[in-house]
Structure 1
Amino acid sequence: MKLTQTHLNTFALTTPLYYVNDVPHIGSAYTTMAADAIARFQRLQGKSVLLITGTDEHGQKIQRTAEEFGRSPQAHCDQIVSSFASLWQHLNIHYDRFSRTTASRHEAIVKEFFQRVWDQGDIYLSQQQGWYCVACEEYKEERELEGGKYCPIHVNKVVEWRDEQNYFFRLSKYQKQLETLYQDHPDFIQPESRRNEVINFVKQGLQDFSISRVNIDWGFPIPCDPSHTIYVWFDALLGYVTALLDPEEEPTLENALSKWWPINLHLIGKDILRFHAIYWPAMLMSAGL
């Protein structure tokens, strides 16, 4: 993408879109304070700055957590979101946009993006078998699991065996393009230790990943097959794009990407590195972005 003079004087950055299964913790505060400090520094340089934070609100984990508390998923999300907003106010965080993945504007962006990837021929229906961690909202390879089939991240959670039809994204198609991206832009992933981690993972060969779930109501339906729900990560990453829209703008990709795109900096935790450094750029490549 050719950078315009306008873009050279703008700086857009994001915190992760925090998962609302529970109230914010010290890790959420740490990342958000770091983002706020960077945003303040960029403003002191005379830049026009957009600091995005927000919440990731779909998925089976949210549905189950809400059930445990005897709430609807939306009521649960609203309650947890208010705790994030009050904490950022308490910490004097100056964010510009708060992105919620349950917003109707976000659904419009997700559907348009899905259609682009579908039209590219990068989505297909197939059988998914494997071990699934609900806490990660991710399938795990056998080699990753701890003894007794425990998740390597949520070490007190046993993974669940799944065998179902899902829609898949052709991640494997973008292996070479991703390797070229990491090579041509060595600062794309920082620090270097995490960059090496991603490169080593990609070198082992990328597998297509499923982007739908069945028997889950809490999420956006697949446009071409409403019996499937769009996988929480495919939906959540687009929350960054939705946040680029001005409040009065019609929610289209063209409008969202007109001023602040590409985003200069995503601050993330190491546990979600793979989604941001592998899945996200491949999805963007597929959609022609």
Structure 2
Amino acid sequence: MDPKTVSNRFSLTTPLYYANALPHIGSAYTTIAADVMARYQRLQGTLTLLVTGTDEHGQKIERTAQEAGHSPQEHCDLIVPEFVTLWQQLGIRYDRFIRTTDPRHTAIVSEFVQRLWDSGDIYLGQQQGWYCVACEEFKEERDLLEGHRCSIHTNRQVEWRDEKNYFFRLSKYQSQLEALYADRPGFIQPDYRRNEVLSFVSQGLQDFSMSRISLDWGIPIPADPKHTIYVWVDALLGYVTALLEPDDEPTLENALAKWYPFNLHLIGKDILRFHAVYWP
């Protein structure tokens, strides 16, 4: 049965868990919640697809692997089976498990970023600012604790970056995002998180750096392979790659043909901005 042709279909995701370290209670909490929702939908007779997986690129993983004396791929190949084993032990019934090191994912990301390039939504600029490797995110000065420490990873100092990066024209989509939030009040839940996002967006969206020049562990920009695609552009597209059928050619058209858009993304508060602003 083609999910696009039925009204009672439901697709949902956990976050794609970052493979820098072993799974923990927070990973289990979100995955159990997703499994409960998927089981409920199936009991209602709804055609259901539950997606989970691992986000495996970025500087944090590269550094963690170096500290352990492994290559980044070796590190991920050690960590990912621990997620799979834990979900088996917890009886999680997922339908798709995506790894962002999958070559099919690389094809999807490359096609997507090339589309952005062709549409003029990517341009070269100078990035200056404080960067938290643990968050894989640039931070505003006002968001930092004393001693230039990250407010989330409080035992880590952020690093100053000054380099040429490619930027995504997020500012171009200010009005479209505000219209989305207005038309779909339940798009972000709970309400206090929705208000948090509305407040952020109302301050004016800034274009964000979507490449890194000093990082090898990731997917290169097709039009300029010296640059690696920012991990949060790469990782979010893992949800799309997971929708490919096993025998499908890895194209965006094939990935989006049946199950997209998702009905529900379950996430943690620390990754709210990526999912509620950058992703849509």
Pairwise TM-score range, normalised by the shorter structure: over 0.9
1:247 is aligned to 2:254: no
AA matched with 2:251: T
Aligned 8 A contact 2:13 2:51 in 1? yes
Distance 1:207 1:80, change over 3 A: same
Distance 2:51 2:77 in 1: 18
Distance 2:261 2:52 in 1: 16
AA matched with 2:61: I
AA matched with 1:234: V
Which deviations, in whole Å up to 9, do the C-alpha atoms of 1:34-54 show, x marking residues without a partner?
Answer: 000000000011111110000
Which deviations, in whole Å up to 9, do the C-alpha atoms of 1:239-269 show, x marking residues without a partner?
Answer: 0000000111110111111110111100000
Distance 1:95 1:207, change over 3 A: same
1:285 aligns to what? none
Which deviations, in whole Å up to 9, do the C-alpha atoms of 1:154-206 show, x marking residues without a partner?
Answer: 11110000000000000011111111111110000000000000000001111
AA matched with 1:42: Q
Aligned 8 A contact 1:7 1:260 in 2? no
1:125 aligns to what? 124
Alignment of 1:112-191 (within 5 A): 112-191=111-190
AA matched with 2:255: A
2:29 aligns to what? 30
Distance 1:64 1:5 in 2: 42
Following superposition, the deviation at residue 8 of structure 1 comes to 1.8
1:216 aligns to what? 215
Alignment of 1:81-96 (within 5 A): 81-96=80-95
Q: CA RMSD in A?
A: 0.9
Distance 2:202 2:114 in 1: 29
Aligned 8 A contact 2:51 2:97 in 1? yes
Distance 2:250 2:170 in 1: 27
1:238 aligns to what? 237
Aligned 8 A contact 2:4 2:259 in 1? no
Distance 1:9 1:99 in 2: 24
Which deviations, in whole Å up to 9, do the C-alpha atoms of 1:137-166 show, x marking residues without a partner?
Answer: 000011111111011111111000000000
Distance 1:134 1:7 in 2: 43
Aligned 8 A contact 2:4 2:258 in 1? no
1:280 aligns to what? 279
Following superposition, the deviation at residue 214 of structure 1 comes to 1.0
Alignment of 1:9-48 (within 5 A): 9-48=8-47
1:71 aligns to what? 70
3-state DSSP of counterpart to 2:226: strand
AA matched with 2:254: N
Distance 2:41 2:13 in 1: 13
Which deviations, in whole Å up to 9, do the C-alpha atoms of 1:19-40 show, x marking residues without a partner?
Answer: 0110000000000000000000
Distance 1:59 1:112 in 2: 19
3-state DSSP of counterpart to 2:214: coil
Distance 2:166 2:46 in 1: 42
AA matched with 1:195: R
3-state DSSP of counterpart to 1:15: strand
Distance 1:7 1:155, change over 3 A: farther
AA matched with 1:280: W
Following superposition, the deviation at residue 6 of structure 1 comes to 2.2
3-state DSSP of counterpart to 2:10: strand
Runs of 4+ in 1 over 2 A off after TM superposition: 4-7
3-state DSSP of counterpart to 2:15: coil
2:194 aligns to what? 195
Aligned 8 A contact 1:124 1:167 in 2? yes
Aligned 8 A contact 2:4 2:257 in 1? no
AA matched with 2:192: S
AA matched with 2:91: N
3-state DSSP of counterpart to 2:186: coil
